[in-house]
Each structure stands twice: as structure tokens, then as C-alpha cells.
Amino acid sequence: MALGVLQAATPTVLNAVYDRVWIQEIVISAPSPDGDAQARACLRKYRVTDTGSEFAPDAGEWITVENVLAESAKDHDLAAAIAGLMAFIAKRAAAQGLVAHEGGFK
């Protein structure tokens, strides 16, 4: 599976045109089992050159989603992403003997 390429809504023009967006980092944190989770993603503009890709010189833009679990109840794509990620983690944890089995969460 290849990661998708996002086209920038507004390309950045410096000494070159940076017209694509790369999702550089995704962070999900849930500090307590009694609370909700937070997600952040850093998006960076870049361009394709003859020798590869080159990031724009800025540090990128962060998108933040507070209350991920509550938001996933309202957004099918977010719900599917969280469910898929949790299923994959459960499978890996079971393979490493960290959980009893990979069959779902309570």
C-alpha cells in the first residue's frame, strides 16, 4: 500500500513551488484509561525535484483532534481508523504475549 499524496490548497512559493502535502507525523495520546484521547498530525508542504523530494523550509502545520473517542462517534472515517489501529495493536500485543488473546477489546 502506498501512502497518498495530498495537493496543497495554496502552494507555497519561495524560490520554488511547494505544491504537495506530506503527513509527516501522527501522535495519539491517551494519558488515562478513564479519559479520552487526543490526536495530532503534522503536515508539511513539499515539492518533487529531479533528485527526489524537498520540504518547504517551514516547520509544517499541526492539526489537533481533542476527544478522539467522542469525535469518532460522529465521524465514520475516524471511527474506522481508530478501530483498525486498535485491532492491529491487539494482534501485535497478543503475538508478544502482552495480552491474553487478540480477540477484541472490552
Reported confidence tier of residue 36, pLDDT bands at 50, 70, 90: very high
> What is the residue range of 21's domain?
1-66
Q: How many CB atoms lie within 10 A of CB 24?
A: 13
pLDDT higher at 30 or 106? 30
Contact 45, 58 (CB under 8 A): yes
Question: Same structural domain for residues 73 and 32?
Answer: no
Contact 56, 14 (CB under 8 A): yes
Reported confidence tier of residue 44, pLDDT bands at 50, 70, 90: very high
Question: Same structural domain for residues 61 and 73?
Answer: no
Question: Same structural domain for residues 10 and 52?
Answer: yes
Question: Same structural domain for residues 60 and 10?
Answer: yes
**Which pTM does this prediction carry?**
0.74
In a domain, residue 22? The reply is yes
Question: Same structural domain for residues 73 and 95?
Answer: yes
Cβ-based burial of 33 (10 A; exposed 0-12, middle 13-18, buried ≥19): exposed
In a domain, residue 105? The reply is no
Q: What percent of the chain has pLDDT over 90?
A: 58
Q: What is the DSSP letter of 24?
A: E
Question: Same structural domain for residues 59 and 89?
Answer: no
Q: Given a cut of 70, is residue 106 above it in pLDDT? A: no
Q: What is the DSSP letter of 57?
A: S
In a domain, residue 104? The reply is no
pLDDT value at position 104? 55
pLDDT value at position 13? 79
* Domains in the chain, number: 2
Q: What average pLDDT does the chain have?
A: 88
Cα 104 to Cα 93: distance, rounded to the nearest angstrom: 12
Cα 70 to Cα 100: distance, rounded to the nearest angstrom: 28
In a domain, residue 106? The reply is no
